[in-house]
Amino acid sequence: MATLKIPHPVPSAAEDAEHLRKAFHGWGTDEKAVISILAHRNADQRKEIMATYEELYKENLIKRLESETSGHFERAMYRWMFGPGEREAIFANVALKEKVDWVVIIELSCINSPNELLAIKKAYQMRYKLSMEEDVASHTSGDFRKLLLGLVSTYRYSGEEINASLASSEAKILHDAIKKKTFDHDEVIRILSTRSKAQLNATFNRYKDEYNTSITKVLRNALNKSGTDEDSLTRVIVMRAEKDLLVIKEMYHKRSNESLDQAVAKETSGDYKKFLLALIGN
Amino acid sequence: MATLKIPHPVPSAAEDAEHLRKAFHGWGTDEKAVISILAHRNADQRKEIMATYEELYKENLIKRLESETSGHFERAMYRWMFGPGEREAIFANVALKEKVDWVVIIELSCINSPNELLAIKKAYQMRYKLSMEEDVASHTSGDFRKLLLGLVSTYRYSGEEINASLASSEAKILHDAIKKKTFDHDEVIRILSTRSKAQLNATFNRYKDEYNTSITKVLRNALNKSGTDEDSLTRVIVMRAEKDLLVIKEMYHKRSNESLDQAVAKETSGDYKKFLLALIGN
């Protein structure tokens, strides 16, 4: 369900490295050649190309790409080059350092499986020499800290077993907190940040049965919509192209009357546009 | 630095299983034989004995031990039989279910390395089909929940790199919170529950230099001493016998004018006493 398209047969890492080197050569960069290679290799293949490139030409491919590209294209390409764990660690660090962009932190803690989140936290520690939890905690405060820190810290249970009576009692806690406005932040945060996905689904279904409204509807109305900027667009496409972007594309099309390709083509330009469209499988 | 003594050469798992079977045979159990075998095998060897015993006699060795022993001896033996991750998961579950015994939870989250804590959390999920975080969060409340949940959840950075200016600013936060009594729980909890051991050491040293008193002294005075009961005694000895009990023994002797052996001999009796003394290396 990925959108990434890899040629058959795929060139060797040495061939790719050589073609990239040529694309960088002389005045100006052959961005088209760069995209035609790197937007069509998976994480393992990109890693091998990086190692081979460094071996052959004694320079770091990512640094060279940074000097050869600019703007949104540079940022997208830079993010694309890393494996999933390290890439999301970089996203998280940028989100925490520049301003606390909570959408990024919520996204990475909720979309990834517990073990994927753990891999991101390990990559974060390797790269920044401290834990993601420390950075989340020291850049936030109050209820907001409790929620974000809870989402990032918990190593959730990832199995399917659920407790039905718990689903019922916690649906009531959520209902009382939201509908009756006796807003008990601590309990809402506790439930959302510690329960497993399966248990939360059971609780939300129970909520729907019991109170005739879906909790996601309630929550969606309560959340501010953040405008779509290039950074989020890059983030979603780069993160999901090797994973489940095909499903996202289909859902996007159903909900918005235009295809994701059309929307991206309309909103972006230049090499950045070509690169994203290549990753989307256009 | 373990106190566990293993004979050379060590009998095969099949021989050990056969001797255990004999010790269970007929009226009464030969507890001395059971202790002479199981108190002198490491975690891997015990695991192999359990597998071999089950294969040979089609019964679960742990269940058989439970039916052959009783009281504190049964509890100590039961805990001893598991590997470290699973054993501490069981301790945690008992601590959370019967009453919230926060000493056990603080102990396991602070003494273990981040990866050891993770192994315990994985064992907890395997065994109880939910996360340790869920159980900690749903059995506690208020500041107490924040602290315990923080300690259990965080996947701390385990490297040696520290940030000196952070140590200084966080020593000041702790000092203001404790000495000036402007008790800012959130900040104290944030620091204690997210920072790495190396960073906390740097902060505590800075605290000592800056304010001429050690934070551990301040904290020790603030903590209630919990009486030593058999459960904690068992927990410490069973958990550390294969790890660092020798160091603990030495420190105990220095601080209390009697050896740990003497103290244990005085406070316990029967097979329970014999078993603990065997694990202590007596």
What pLDDT does residue A60 have? 96
- Mean pLDDT within B246-256: 86
Contact A153 B154 (CB under 8 A): yes
Which residues does chain A have with pLDDT short of 50? 222-227
Local confidence band at B222 (pLDDT 50, 70, 90 cut-offs): very low
- With CB atoms and an 8 Å threshold, state whether A134 touches B186: no
Flag whether residue B161 sits within 8 Å of chain A, measured between CB atoms.
yes
B194–A contact, CB cutoff 8 A: yes
User: What is the residue-wise DSSP string for chain B?
Assistant: -------SSPPPHHHHHHHHHHHHSSSS--HHHHHHHHTTS-HHHHHHHHHHHHHHHSS-HHHHHHHH--HHHHHHHHHHHS-HHHHHHHHHHHHHHTS--HHHHHHHHHHS-HHHHHHHHHHHHHHHSS-HHHHHHHT--HHHHHHHHHHHH-----SS---HHHHHHHHHHHHHHHTS----HHHHHHHHHHS-HHHHHHHHHHHHHHHSS-HHHHHHHHSPPPP--HHHHHHHHHHHTTTTHHHHHHHHHHHHSS-HHHHHHHH--HHHHHHHHHHHT-
Residue A141: the pLDDT is 87
A113, A118, A124, A125, best to mutate vs chain B, most B CBs in 10 Å:
A125
Among B129, B131, B194, the residue with its CB nearest the CB of A155 is: B131
Q: What ipTM was assigned to the predicted interfaces of this complex?
A: 0.77
Is residue B177 predicted with pLDDT exceeding 90? no
Average pLDDT over residues B217-240: 67
User: Quick one: pLDDT at residue A227?
Assistant: 47
Q: What is the pLDDT of residue B111?
A: 87
Q: Tell me the nearest-neighbour CA distance from B158 into chain A, angstroms.
A: 8
Of residues A11 and B242, which shows the higher confidence score? A11
A117-121, B70-74, B251-255, B258-262: segment of lowest average pLDDT: B251-255
Is residue B241 part of an annotated ligand binding site? no
pLDDT in tens, B104-150: 899 899 889 999 999 999 999 999 999 999 999 999 888 888 899 99
A-B interface: how many C-beta pairs under 8 angstroms?
A: 92
CB contact under 8 A, A194 and B137: yes
Q: Is B24 annotated as a binding residue?
A: yes
Summarize the confidence of residues B163-174 as an average pLDDT: 95
A156 CB near a chain B CB, below 8 Å? Answer: yes
**How much of chain B, in percent, has pLDDT values that exceed 70?**
93
Quote the pLDDT of residue A204: 92
* Contact (CB<8Å) B121/A154: no
Chain B partners of A193 at a C-beta cutoff of 8 Å? Answer: 137
Joined tokens for residue B39? 């108190």
Which residues from chain A sit within 8 angstroms of residue B156, using beta carbons? 131, 133
Report the pLDDT value the prediction gives residue A217, as an integer from 0 to 100: 64
Q: What is the pLDDT of residues B11-67, one digit of tens each?
A: 999 999 999 999 999 788 999 999 999 999 999 999 999 999 999 999 999 999 999
Q: Residue B5: is its pLDDT beyond 70?
A: yes
Share of chain B above pLDDT 90, in %: 61
What is the per-residue pLDDT for A224?
35
Please name each of the domains of chain B with its CATH number: 84-153 (1.10.220.10), 164-212 (1.10.220.10)
B157·A118 Cβ contact <8 A: no
